Amino acid sequence: MVAGLAVAHSQPDIIIKELPKDEVQWCTVSLSEMLDAGKRLEASVFEVKGKHAQETIEQCKWGALALNNPENGLLEQAFYPGRFKRIYTSAGNGVPFYLPSQMNDVYPKAEKYISKLTKCDIQALRLKRDTLLLTRSGTIGNVALVSRTLENKVFSDDVIRITLKNRMDIGYLYAYFRSETGGTILQTNKYGSVIQHIEPSHLYDLPIPNPSTEIKERISEFIFSSYNLRDQSNELIDKATRMLIKALSLPPINELQTEQFSFSSEVNNYSVKLSELSGRLDGSYHIPIAKAIAEHLKQHAGELLAVGDNRISKEIILPGRFKRTYVEEGQGRVFFGGKQLYELDPSNKKYLSLAQHGDRIKEQLELHENMTLITCSGTIGKVTLVPRHWEHWAANQHIIRVVPACDEIAGYLSIFLSSDYGYPLITRFTYGSVVDEIDARHVAQIPFPLLKDKAVQREINRLALEANAMRYDAYKLEQEALRIMNDEVIFA
């Protein structure tokens, strides 16, 4: 193991300056390249970055080898299971099924379940430890490593599974694909043409820098240590959630659900008193599961407050809508959206102009450690705790920020809202005929239990904050691996 992996890497203060963009990005394309690209004449087909990335690897001091070189290639196997027609079912009747969009989540939760009647080999879909994953369509080239968290999970056939001959090379290849240069090459062919779909055969001739064994080992150790910390953080989250459920004597969520519906007719139905309407006539607001959870919390919590209570939160912020002005990397503030909320290092980051949006960033968009974030538009109710490396980053207006009253409640707040019992209490407020929405007023009304046993509540809070700190350390380790990849391998 590399000594001191979790030690913070000091970074100098960075002064962000906005620089003018180049007016035109250009490259030359030969007639043969145009013919090889299918006689395409669109400039977008011949990606400038792709051509530059290919040239960079060709000129690498270490030399390059093909991933599937028969003599010294790294690849053992690259494949994906055969396509099949999916039969979806309810949670209690099927196998948890994960989509490519969840591959980079720190702790993915199954959103779909496939029936055992589905004509496919379920076991072939299960992931094996130390496998690399690549998305092969849609957003192509996203990469993940199968550690304890993903092991045995059933993933879609839209994910390519890659196994290597040597374990040492797994973390190294992951870091290469995660680097800007490696990721660009992954998405383009040897002429720099953009590809829309990856097949395993496309990977065979990918040029891979071939540095010394010592460098490969260092990079790989950083990556494996990073994923180990992510696994440990997930285990702490699970432990905290179990303690919460036990302290509140919460039954399985499906038991609360089934007790509430009346089965006297073919349509699920329930009655609501006039005094309980709260000005809402939409059935989703009065969904029985939310009422059942709230009633249970009243009976078993030490005190039932609302998230907007000043003992729970200082402020609940929903940024206003605005027209965004983006700049190049390093020229503005990191900016991401709700789709990336569960990722350790949000993909497809953009950079928001400080000159145009400086005040809005400071007052509404900026994130701070231990804030709880809740998606409030489109997909409602995704919850996460802001880690330290997101400090001063910005997120879009489709995410509500809950500023905790203090650090002694921050972790506990996130654990409850992200649980199976917090989710229905958030989503019951959903409104909108086309795009689902909730707002800050709704979040302020969410019932929130304080435990009778304050020692247990403090321990839940500590576990959550410790898990959040581990994710920060995991991020630093991965960034160090990427630094070595860039400084000592690709651009050495």
What is the per-residue DSSP string for 357-385? HHHHIIIIIB--TT-EEEE-BSS---EEE
Q: How far is CA 220 from the centre of its chain?
A: 22
> 364, 391 in Cβ contact below 8 A?
no
Highest mean pLDDT among 48-57, 186-195, 319-328, 411-420: 411-420
* pLDDT (average), residues 333-357: 94
What SS3 state is found at 152?
A: coil
Assess whether pLDDT exceeds 50 at residue 13: no
Q: What is the model's pLDDT at position 286?
A: 79
Q: How confident is the model at residue 24 (pLDDT cuts 50, 70, 90)?
A: low
148 and 70 co-located in one domain: yes
Nearest to 389 by CA among 474, 315, 326, 480: 474
Q: Is 238 inside any structural domain?
A: no
Select the more confidently predicted residue: 11 or 385: 385
Q: What is the model's pLDDT at position 23?
A: 54
346 and 270 co-located in one domain: yes
Range of the domain at 53: 44-217
Q: Is 52 inside any structural domain?
A: yes
Domain termination site, one of 217, 232, 259: 217
Q: How confident is the model at residue 70 (pLDDT cuts 50, 70, 90)?
A: confident
Assess whether pLDDT exceeds 70 at residue 57: yes
253 and 213 co-located in one domain: no
Q: Among the listed ranges 10-24, 98-112, 326-340, 354-368, which one has the minimum average pLDDT value?
A: 10-24
* pLDDT (average), residues 174-203: 82
* pLDDT (average), residues 370-376: 97
206 and 270 co-located in one domain: no
Which element (helix H / strand E) includes 410? helix 407-417
Domain total in the chain? 2
419 and 310 co-located in one domain: yes
Q: Is 236 inside any structural domain?
A: no
Length of the chain measured in residues: 492
* pLDDT (average), residues 220-241: 98
Select the more confidently predicted residue: 280 or 370: 370
Q: What are phi and psi of 13, to 5 degrees?
A: -60, 135
Q: Is 482 inside any structural domain?
A: no
CATH of the domain at 139: 3.90.220.20
Q: How confident is the model at residue 260 (pLDDT cuts 50, 70, 90)?
A: low
Tokens matching residue 385: 């705790």
Q: Is 231 inside any structural domain?
A: no
272 and 201 co-located in one domain: no
Q: Is 243 inside any structural domain?
A: no
181 and 281 co-located in one domain: no
186 and 293 co-located in one domain: no
Domain termination site, one of 217, 232, 257: 217
191 and 61 co-located in one domain: yes
* pLDDT (average), residues 291-314: 96
Residue tagged 């879009």 (tokens): 396
58 and 207 co-located in one domain: yes
Q: Is 93 inside any structural domain?
A: yes
* pLDDT (average), residues 473-482: 98
Q: Is 480 inside any structural domain?
A: no
292 and 440 co-located in one domain: yes
Domain termination site, one of 194, 217, 240: 217
102 and 194 co-located in one domain: yes
